Structure 1
Amino acid sequence: MPIPAPNLYPDFNIIRLSHVELFVSDLAWSRAYYVDTLGLQVTFEDADAIYLRAMEERGHHCVILRKGTGGEVGVLGFKVWDEGELDKAEAWFKTRDLPTQWIERPFMGRVLRTRDPWGVPLEFYAQMDRLPVIAQEYKLYRGVKPLRIDHFNLFSQNVDEAVKFYGDMGFRVTEYTADEETGRTWAAWMHRKGGVHDIAFTNGTGPRLHHMAFWVPTPLNIIDLLDLMATTGYVSNIERGPGRHGISNAFFLYIRDQDGHRTEIYCSDYQTLDPDLEPIKWDLKDPQRQTLWGAPAPQSWFELGSTFQGASLTESDLKAQPIVAP
């Protein structure tokens, strides 16, 4: 299907992605992985949860690690322009017969909880507690030196429908992969904040979270992380990379924690600020779309993902397959 024209004047104004809640089976293991190894900063912790932020972030958290059924995702969070936009968002979701609920969330103001048509749990807020600037506290930098959360990527059972729904919310397509044989979209990258993507959708059994991603300063930080993981007991958690994507032009590495949650370490993509920027089209059969250079993605990268709490899985009927590593 053709990529729809962007909605430049959506009914409510989303600024950017904000945070994700991951359920993990062992908080101590997860703390060692995400804090001591990757380098995220702890902003609060108790017996049930650990709140984390990256080095450039002023908001209280971008990741919540919560003790529970490992491999599940509690929610994807987005920041809106102001409190009035939250009321507009509630009305927008209600007109689509989707559930809405006002909830209490620590370290945040009013939070609107809802789900997309496929059951992905979403929440929107306008104000999160602000913390002191630590971007120049270089003694705190560890691991891969994560600067900020960059995007989410989801498995979707129908990418064209996901693009239409999130496009109605104001997300704009920057790049996409077309399956020329069926005329359908196999994957799409969509943004609000002016990068390549805040959220992306990849064909597959869904909805599931494929990965969250963190922006880092340079490719050398990724090499340093690989050396660290290879010599501290995490070599088996390295899944794919390093390499460079054709789509987004980003230098990347994919790693997975013991519960299966996948993280992309990411740098060197480009800005997409102009509202009339035309999406870049890729053919599914072009191997450089997923890997400009580097080894092809392993089978696990196409098949494994984190489930969303309360969402039922549906297999995609689009059976097209890109290049997979032997």
Structure 2
Amino acid sequence: MPVPAPVLYPPFNIVRLSHVEFGVTDLAASRAFYVDTLGLQVTYEDDESLYMRAMEERGHHCIALRKADKPEARVLGFKLYDTPDLDKAAAFFAAKGLPVEWVERPFMGRTLRTCDNFGIPLEFYVQMDRLPPIHQQYKLYNGVKALRIDHFNMFTSDVDASVAFYNEIGFRTTEYTEDEDSQKLWAAWMHRKGGVHDVAFTNGLGPRLHHTAFWVPTPLNIIELLDLMATTGYVANIERGPGRHGISNAFFLYILDPDGHRIEIYCSDYQTVDPDLEPIKWDLKDPQRQTLWGAPAPRSWFEHGSLFAGVDPVASAMTAQPIIAP
């Protein structure tokens, strides 16, 4: 199936991805990981929750952790352009037969809760509490010095169907991997904010959250994080990298939080703001697709993911596989 033509005037206007909420089993252990090791800034905490932002963000939070009996990804959040977009979004999802609910969310204005065509829980808002800028308070820069949340990557049992759905609401494909035998998509990267992606889709048991990525200033920050993790008890949490992707050209590191939620530390991709930018096609068996230097990803990278709360994943019918490290 070819990549669909971009919808330049979608039914409602998404600005960017905004935030993720995780259920975590040990809030203190998660705080040590996200705050003391990664360096995210606490904006609110109590006995049941922890809210954080990265250094360039003015919104109240880009990640929320809530104490839970089991690890889970609870919702992916997106910011809309203006207040009328909320009602336009509600009408769109209702017309698709998908659930529409107006929910009360801490530190956020009017919020629409719904899901995509495979049940991934989504929420949309226009207003979030605004905080003073801290990007020039260099005494606060700790850990990997994360600047902002960058993207979500999701496992899906049908990449073509996921791409078609998100294309309809205005996400534009920048790069994609096609299985030459079936002529179906194995993975795709789609954006709203002008980077390589706000969302990406990977073939597999889905829907599940593959990873959440944070942008850092330079590759050196990633090297420094590795040294920090190696000397503070987090060696086993280092899963893949450092390296440079062929797809996106980004320098990367994949790590796991104490509950197994995968986090990517990410920098150095490229600008994609032109509406007529042609997507880049990759072959599934190209060794430089995963890593420009040719190193394949470990098996865990293709199999492990966070379950979405209340959503039962299903297996993909596609049997094609990329190169996997022995």
TM bucket (normalised to shorter chain) is over 0.9
* Secondary structure in structure 1 of the residue aligned to 2:290: coil
Residue type at the aligned position of 1:80: L
Q: State the secondary structure of the residue aligned to 1:160.
A: helix
For residue 50 of structure 1, what is the aligned residue in structure 2? 50
Residue of structure 2 equivalent to 1:106: 106
After TM superposition, the runs of 4+ consecutive aligned structure 1 residues lying more than 6 A away are none
1:265-276 equivalences under 5 Å are 265-276=265-276
- Alpha-carbon shift at residue 294 of structure 1 (Å): 5.8
For residue 289 of structure 2, give the secondary structure of its aligned residue in structure 1: coil
Residue of structure 2 equivalent to 1:4: 4
Within 5 A, what are the aligned runs for 1:230-241? 230-241=230-241
The match for 2:90 is 90
Distance 2:116 2:185 in 1: 19
Aligned-residue CA RMSD (Å) = 0.6
Counterpart-to-counterpart distance in 2, 1:129 and 1:34: 21
Q: In structure 1, how many angstroms separate the alpha carbons of the residues matched to 2:22 and 2:288? A: 31
Q: Which residue of 2 aligns with 1:278?
A: 278
Equivalent residues in 2 for 1:116-135, closer than 5 Å = 116-135=116-135
Alpha-carbon distance between aligned partners in 2 of 1:147 and 1:25, rounded to the nearest angstrom: 26
Q: Indicate if the aligned counterparts of 2:21 and 2:75 stay in contact, CA closer than 8 A.
A: yes
Q: Unaligned stretches of 5+ in structure 1?
A: none
Which letter maps to 2:3?
A: I
Contact 2:33 2:258 in 1 (8 A): no
- 3-state SS of 1:315 partner: coil
Match of 2:163, SS?
Answer: helix
Which AA in structure 2 matches 1:141? Y
- Name the amino acid aligned to 2:197: H
What TM-score results when the alignment is normalised by the length of structure 2?
A: 0.99
Structure 1 residue 31, shift from structure 2 partner: 0.1
Deviation for aligned residue 1:295: 3.1
Residue by residue, what CA displacement relative to the aligned partner does 1:235-254 show, whole Å, maximum 9, x if unpaired? 11000000000000000000
Aligned to 1:320: 320
Question: What are the residue-to-residue correspondences of 1:13-24 with 2, within 5 Å?
Answer: 13-24=13-24
- For 1:240-276, what per-residue CA distance to the aligned partner results, in whole angstroms no more than 9, with x for missing partners? 0000000000000000012110000000000000000
Structure 1: how far apart are the matches of 2:76 and 2:119?
A: 12
Report the Cα distance in structure 2 between the residues aligned to 1:239 and 1:154, rounded to whole angstroms.
Answer: 17
Question: Quick one: percent identity of the two aligned structures?
Answer: 73
Gap regions ≥5 residues in structure 2: none
How many angstroms apart in 2 are the aligned matches of 1:69 and 1:158? Answer: 30
- The normalised TM-score by structure 1 is 0.99
Q: CA deviation at 1:69?
A: 3.3
Per-residue CA distance 1:90-138 (angstroms, 9 max, x = gap): 0000110000000000100000000112110000000100001000000
